[in-house]
Structure 1
Amino acid sequence: MVEKALVKVGILFGGKSVEHEVSLLSAKNVMDALDLDRFELVPIFVDKAGRWLLVDSLDALLEKTAAESDGAAVSYGPVVSFVPGGQGRLIHLSDMASSTYVDVVFPVLHGLCGEDGSVQGLLKLAGVPYVGSEIIGSAIGMDKDVSKRLLRVAGIPIAPFYAFKRGDAIDCRKVLEELGLPVFVKPASLGSSVGVAKVVDASGLQAAIDAAFKFDAKVLVEKFIEGREIECAVLGNDDPVASVVGEISSSHDFYSYEAKYVDKKAVKLTVPASIDSTIADRVRALSVQSFHVLCCTGMARVDFFLSKDGSLVVNEINTIPGFTSMSMYPLLWQATGLAYRTLISQLIELAMQRFAQNEELKTSF
């Protein structure tokens, strides 16, 4: 009896992003959960210079990174690049005759050049399946300005906001007259609350905007919505399903980067959330609707604010949610009855199914 070949899964992590370290934490969990009876792991590390390198494991990488910080010479694996139309071929740039192949890629990249459509476009040109949303869904989901405008047109409730590009004339007084205080200032295309500030005094608005512009070329100023922070996970392609609903509460002033990844004691995750079943059903329905409106596939986490009067506001969608030990996406699915390992397997299967469907499309007329 011939044994079935393992599916080679390229775990793509790191990235040229302020969320580089978060990606390492997520990738560690994904790698540990991979079903090695079905899949073969191929770790692909993207360093902060943007180089793609094969590594033996994330543990080895972390050891090398520690040595590097001590000034020791560090040797990673070969620098590689996908070949356009190569169906998963990674050519070794130091030895062009050498190649590594993967059958599917699992991007565990957060932020710019990771979940904004850039990598997705590269992988599409390479002719290899990949987990998560395609180019358009990734790009839309990453840009909070564009995604909020699309949600608003679809009749999905969002918080009032202004969006400014670098160089725009900004009338802070006019903004506050319309939005009131406090407001949140955030880069348009970053996650993990990087560069986000809560402004409680009019005199601090311009400084917060200037600080956010250090991370992005477009900045949002958003009306503060008082309410509970509710999250829901979505899984699927054409017929996605929603998980149970969870709640995040923090002793910090808001769910900041530090609260998410540094001060674990500051955060309480409640799964499932203690909310009325009718509201929970509404959250799930809005999550799936938002997933469709924003052209998502594979996976996404949809974040809400729940006001005291029971009204819901969609805060944002995350097309490559975190997979750290504190991340809600896998926790929500575990509470729904989908084990972590099974979730990772299903995400890979969804990627390969979508790729096979797209391959059936005509390319000539």
Structure 2
Amino acid sequence: MQKNNKISVGILMGGYSSEYQISLKSGNVVYEHLDKEKFNVYKVHILKEKWVAVIDSEEYPIDRTDFSFEMNGEKINFDIVFNAIHGTPGEDGKILAYLELLNIPHTSAPFYQMALTFNKRDTLAVLKAHGIKTATSCYIYENENYSIDEILETVGLPCFVKPNRAGSSFGISKVNKKEEMQKALEVAFKEDHEVIVEAFLDGPEVSVGVIEYKGEVKVLPFTEIVSENDFFDYEAKYLGKSQEITPARISKEIEAVTSEIAKKAYQILNMKGFSRSEFIIVNDEPFFLEMNTVPGLTAESILPQQANCAGISLKELFGNAIEMNLNPKK
């Protein structure tokens, strides 16, 4: 604990993936809304070329031996770290393993759970074993000999081609014709050397936030995604090319079933902190697509919209994440 007996919080933002700019926005929103009466809050930029604490536009290098920094001759240690890194090394658990070795608590699930949920194929395999429905899919390594005909025989057309480990819809393509498949694979392989190809599911898409709040697993009001584009791609997510309707326009019966499955997935995967799972409703049945464990945290992002609908302010949402992980239940 640092000066004024306040809890010292480092907000991790940036990262090494295509999502780093979105992460910087999320991290800045967390910084703005954390209660400065309770916390000494520091922005920590984790970038390929540098790890630095950023204070009033000044940069202070992070000492990687103990994850501290020095300012005006004073050594600053963190009591807890708020993880706002989308993609690697935050959402895939790499930096969390390092923090856990240093006994520094953080706001995400343990590193293994984060690594598991960042891998779409492995997440689907675990949940399918527990009876949760998912799209038909196949999995491809970049350097293997794959047959487009065999892929399409498995998943059909249209289908989606996705990097196995990436977010914010980077590298995702919807394929409507066989001739489009090779280009879609090349786009996905730019983001990851593993790709998952999924059958198209026809139905409304809902995004379901599940969080740990005041010691309980809480399912937030759903958001219905209505994209102006062919699917919920980067433009739809971040450039206004979609409607995000909270609460979603689905029946109470479907909402109850989907809510139960979303909570079950959170618990099966041994999650903590924030999560946002995507579902397609097909003939009144929810099909699980993926789980985001460091979802966007700007005021316009889906999870904060859902929290607001549930009567939880950003100050409460972010402060609760700190409180839950400073004194976690064993």
Asked if these proteins are the same fold (TM beyond 0.5), I'd say yes
State the secondary structure of the residue aligned to 1:275: coil
Distance in 2, matches of 1:4 and 1:325, equals 29
Distance in 2, matches of 1:14 and 1:4, equals 28
Q: CA deviation at 1:210?
A: 1.9
The equivalent residue for 2:309 is 335
The equivalent residue for 1:362 is none
The equivalent residue for 1:267 is 242
Does the aligned pair in 1 maintain the 2:137–2:154 contact within 8 Å?
no
Listed as ranges, the gaps of 5+ residues in structure 2 are: none
Q: CA deviation at 1:98?
A: 5.8
Distance in 1, matches of 2:242 and 2:184, equals 24
Residues 86-125 of structure 1: pairs in structure 2 closer than 5 A: 86=66, 90-92=68-70, 99-125=75-101
The equivalent residue for 2:30 is 30
Q: CA deviation at 1:82?
A: 4.0
Task: Say which is worse superposed, 233-242 or 149-158, in terms of deviation.
Answer: 233-242
State the secondary structure of the residue aligned to 2:202: coil
State the secondary structure of the residue aligned to 1:77: strand
The equivalent residue for 1:251 is 228
Does the aligned pair in 2 maintain the 1:187–1:215 contact within 8 Å?
yes
Give 1:253's aligned amino acid. D
The equivalent residue for 1:80 is 62
Does the aligned pair in 2 maintain the 1:231–1:247 contact within 8 Å?
yes
State the secondary structure of the residue aligned to 1:203: helix
Q: CA deviation at 1:11?
A: 0.6
- How far does the alpha carbon of each residue in 1:1-52 deviate from its partner, in whole angstroms, 9 at most, with x for none? xx97211110110111110110011112111111111111111112242x21
The equivalent residue for 2:285 is 311
Q: CA deviation at 1:351?
A: 1.4
Q: CA deviation at 1:284?
A: 1.2
Give 1:18's aligned amino acid. S
Alignment partner of 1:134 is 2:121: no
Alignment partner of 1:201 is 2:183: no
- How far does the alpha carbon of each residue in 1:107-132 deviate from its partner, in whole angstroms, 9 at most, with x for none? 11011212101011011011111001
Q: CA deviation at 1:166?
A: 2.2
| Percent identical | 29
The equivalent residue for 1:65 is none
Residues 1-365 of structure 1: pairs in structure 2 closer than 5 A: 5-49=5-49, 51-57=50-56, 60=57, 76-83=58-65, 86=66, 90-92=68-70, 99-236=75-212, 239-261=216-238, 263-264=239-240, 266-307=241-282, 309-354=283-328, 357=329
Distance in 1, matches of 2:119 and 2:30, equals 25
Give 2:15's aligned amino acid. G
Give 1:25's aligned amino acid. K
Does the aligned pair in 2 maintain the 1:245–1:283 contact within 8 Å?
no
Distance in 2, matches of 1:81 and 1:228, equals 48
- How far does the alpha carbon of each residue in 1:335-363 deviate from its partner, in whole angstroms, 9 at most, with x for none? 11211110111111111122xx55xxxxx
Distance in 1, matches of 2:54 and 2:169, equals 29
State the secondary structure of the residue aligned to 2:5: coil
Q: CA deviation at 1:226?
A: 1.1
State the secondary structure of the residue aligned to 1:233: strand
Q: CA deviation at 1:256?
A: 0.9
Does the aligned pair in 2 maintain the 1:235–1:300 contact within 8 Å?
yes
State the secondary structure of the residue aligned to 1:156: coil
The equivalent residue for 1:68 is none
Distance in 1, matches of 2:80 and 2:74, equals 19
Does the aligned pair in 1 maintain the 2:164–2:192 contact within 8 Å?
yes
Distance in 1, matches of 2:225 and 2:63, equals 39
Give 2:276's aligned amino acid. R
Distance in 2, matches of 1:325 and 1:260, equals 13
Q: CA deviation at 1:171?
A: 1.2
Q: CA deviation at 1:239?
A: 4.2
TM-score, normalised by the number of residues in structure 2: 0.94
- How far does the alpha carbon of each residue in 1:234-281 deviate from its partner, in whole angstroms, 9 at most, with x for none? 1118741211111111101111112211x22x2211111111111111
Does the aligned pair in 1 maintain the 2:53–2:69 contact within 8 Å?
no
Listed as ranges, the gaps of 5+ residues in structure 1 are: 61-75, 359-365
Give 2:33's aligned amino acid. A
The equivalent residue for 1:72 is none
- How far does the alpha carbon of each residue in 1:136-171 deviate from its partner, in whole angstroms, 9 at most, with x for none? 110011000100111111110111100111211211
Aligned-residue CA RMSD in angstroms? 1.9
State the secondary structure of the residue aligned to 1:249: strand
